Amino acid sequence: MRRPTKDSAESQRKITRRGLVLGGAMAGFMGLLALRMRHLQVDQADQFRLLADENRINIRLIPPARGRIFDREGRIVAENIPSYRINIVREEAGDVDEVIERLSRLVRLDPEELAKAREDLSKLRGDTPVTVADRVTWEDISRVAVNTPALPGVTPEVGLSRHYPMEDDYAHLVGYVGPVNERDLDRIDAPDALLLLPRFQIGKIGVESQLEETLRGTAGTKRVEVNAAGRVMREIDRVEGEAGRDIQLSVDNALQSYVHARLSGESAAAVVIDCDSGDLLACASAPSFDPNLFVRGISVADYRALLDNKYRPLPNKAVQGIYPPGSTFKMVTALAALEDGQVDPNETVYCPGHMEVSGRRFHCWKRVGHGNVDLHRSLRDSCDVYYYEMATRVGIEKISAMARRLGLGIAHDLPLTSVAGGLTPTKDWKLVNRGEAWLVGDSVNAAIGQGFVLASPLQLAVMTARLATGRSVTPRLVKSIDGVEQPTGHGEPMGLNENHLRQIRQAMYAVSNNRRGTAYGSRIIEDAFRMAGKTGTSQVRNITAAERARGVFRNEDLPWERRDHALYVDFAPVENPKVAVAVIVEHGGGGSRAAAPVARDITLQALYGGDPPLEAYPAKDRDRIRTQQEELRRARPGSGRDGSDRA
């Protein structure tokens, strides 16, 4: 059937309108495409030309700034300083040997460092930056930057390197950082990606090691654009990481520096503890070493010199070293006897110079004996026979229990490497470890701090602080982290009889202030700062009957390594104890001669906050002390309490 002419015309008009709309839309779309193509081909031509040359985007880790370490007054102990280095990326370099050869014409490359870099380049992923030259000069960086077109894959960088401005003063406490090695990775269950970066440094010993995760921080990332030649064209974006947290130690720079200077020339250790807070105000081991030597990798010659030194500078004697405490242990035995009701303070024991126990003669240090001695005199004169008698009454179990109560035989929880637990022996301990039954003679030896008993200077300082306060004072090394104060070691009362503690303190006071006391020559004259102490001498060799018969050799007549260790512990002031001090001088001979003068000087420095007036010393010592103070000031420039640090 034929459609009307009117309908056909209307249909034609609709088709025409639709065609125009569709055509217009297509024209608009084509116009947009043309504009977009012009933008891509003209406006962004340079960018896409680079991409056409096989440019690509790399994501690289940004090592975070390591947390800094400060002393108790906010003075720097460990910091980060700018360090220039030159890196190379293997897969961007192409012919690595050729690039390194070109680089060597511009910058001096250390053979050992280069060998390590080649090793890293061969075993690490191809896109990992490897350092070929570290701590180069700004001039070196400039030459490399100018010649980057001829050095594909080579990138000059500015990083941070650890620096220890106090040098050897904090070596054993703070420790040092060094490049990550295979042993480090083996002891970590899931290593942080940062640790896999070549030459990335982590803590090796001391606080740097024990608080590694706190100090390390978290990595940032950056996206960089590199061309086919391996040259970085631009940095696209960057996400900063989180810097490590800052740590404030309880130690005082000036006191720490003084203690190191005072121990100079000896194989020794000293600990100063705040009796109220438990803060370690100083903790020194001598001789020491410069931790900056280890940051980039110590040379074989320098390391060999440290290993061959008979005074053993590498171990931290203050916390790792364990020694027979000698007569400094007598307070433990006396307090155990008092608390157990085995002796009255006024009771006397006769000392003829020796005591027979199970058919064996145990000698007193004074060959002719002390006669009748009570508790007070036994400590003042350091009579051995009195404590032999106490051992037979009390027994080793109660003596060792009291020792642990006073902080001996415990590995105190400090962020330090290899904190020693010492040894407070028991019958079971000997049976398990020696396969032998405990003997009465073992108890007699232990009663005077010999035999199996072992303690560190740190433990002896804690023991002294607890005797001085009656509280379970606990040592604290970290004062705050990022400004957040850490719990103190003030401690709770130990529940000991206060009258018994008073008896011990009075006897220790007599050691230092009575003319017959073993440390009277090293007393403090200033009444407000009078100290109470105890000398100790621990044997490192057996004295045979034949040697006693012909006369025991004096320490000064023996080779150094066969001489006795010298010890001294004290607290001051007597009426209101502020500090407790422990000193050991390895193979120093008698405690009264070698250790007590050192401890007295350290105690006065801690109490006065600097060099004490000469009036605090006995008159006969003042000229010597004046000269000594001048020498020690020269030995520790810039370490005063005016806020300056040693450069």
Is 639 a known active-site residue? no
CA distances from 544 to 69, 324, 409, 446 (A): 51, 19, 30, 19
Question: If you write DSSP's letter for every residue of 366-419 in order, what string do you get?
Answer: STT--EEE-HHHHHHTT-HHHHHHHHHHH-HHHHHHHHHHTTTT-----SSTT-
Does the structure show a pLDDT above 70 at 505? yes
Q: Which strand (E) or helix (H) includes residue 468?
A: helix 457-469
Please tell me the least confidently modeled range out of 146-160, 400-414, 520-534, 603-617: 146-160
For 246, residues 6+ apart whose C-beta sits below 8 A from its C-beta are: 67, 68, 69, 70, 481, 482, 483
Residue 641 pLDDT level (bands cut at 50, 70, 90): very low
- The pLDDT of residue 176 is 95
Q: Are 523 and 625 in contact (CB under 8 A)?
A: no
Does the structure show a pLDDT above 50 at 174? yes
Does the structure show a pLDDT above 90 at 218? no
pLDDT digits (tens, 9 = 90+) for 618-634: 999 999 999 999 998 88
Residue 542 pLDDT level (bands cut at 50, 70, 90): low
First vs last Cα of the chain: how many Å apart?
111
Catalytic residue among 327, 382, 522, 538: 327
- The pLDDT of residue 2 is 57
Q: What is the CA radius of gyration of the chain?
A: 36
Does the structure show a pLDDT above 80 at 636? no
Q: Are 120 and 96 in contact (CB under 8 A)?
A: no
Q: Which of 228, 196, 202, 223 is nearest to 124 (CA)?
A: 196
Does the structure show a pLDDT above 90 at 645? no
**More confident site: 512 or 92:** 512
pLDDT digits (tens, 9 = 90+) for 258-300: 999 999 999 999 999 999 999 999 999 999 999 999 987 788 8
Q: Are 327 and 353 in contact (CB under 8 A)?
A: no
Does the structure show a pLDDT above 50 at 518? yes
Q: Which class is domain 57-249?
A: alpha beta
Starting from the edge strand earliest in sequence, which strands make up the sheet with 220-226, in order?
56-62, 220-226, 232-239
What share of the chain in percent tops pLDDT 90?
A: 60
Q: Which residue has the tokens 């004046």?
A: 626
- The pLDDT of residue 643 is 35
For 527, residues 6+ apart whose C-beta sits below 8 A from its C-beta are: none
* The amino acid at 457: P
Q: Which of 508, 507, 479, 628 is nearest to 580 (CA)?
A: 508
- The pLDDT of residue 581 is 98
* Average pLDDT for 584-613: 95
The CATH superfamily label for domain 253-635 reads: DD-peptidase/beta-lactamase superfamily (3.40.710.10)
Average pLDDT, the chain: 87
Residue environment code for 258-291, b if the CB has 16+ CB neighbours within 10 A, otherwise e = bbbbbbeebbbbbbbbbbbbbbbbbbbbbbbbbb
Q: Let me know the angle formed at the C-alpha of 383 by 382 and 389, rounded to the nearest 5 degrees.
A: 130
Residue 550 pLDDT level (bands cut at 50, 70, 90): low
The residue ranges of every structural domain in the chain are 57-249, 253-635
